[in-house]
Amino acid sequence: VRPVVETGYENVLLVRLLLEIRVPSVRKSSVAEGLTVDDMLENWRTIKPVVIEEWNENRDDLIDLFGKVRDEWMDNDMCTWIGSNR
């Protein structure tokens, strides 16, 4: 999914949306039903604001959370962080 990610926090949204596609019982967004990975790659810029609103998420909070987790991971285990981000 890297081709659509502009900022790291978007990875959290993409993974959650992939989960909603695979597990309909957890679905909370209107865009997940019938959505394919190709659709996500092609339309991420229009999908992203919809899921942020429908999930009642805050962009700045997600950025802070993603940054904290990333920084802790890098501080505690740089080798696995590098391996996961190649």
For residue range 22-79, list pLDDT tens digits in order.
999 999 999 999 999 999 999 999 999 999 999 999 999 999 999 999 999 999 999 9
Residue 5 and residue 14 in contact, taking contact as beta carbons nearer than 8 Å: yes
Residue 17 domain boundaries: 2-84
* Cα of 32 vs its chain's centroid, Å: 13
Residue type, 85: N
- The predicted structure's pLDDT at residue 13: 96
Count the domains in the chain: 1
- Those residues whose C-beta lies under 8 Å from the C-beta of residue 13, and which sit 6 or more positions away, are 48, 51, 52, 57, 62
Cα–Cα distance measured from residue 73 to residue 50, given in angstroms and rounded to the nearest whole number? 30
Q: 8: which 2 tokens?
A: 């790291």
pLDDT of residue 15 exceeding 60? yes
Place 2 in a pLDDT band, splitting at 50, 70 and 90: low
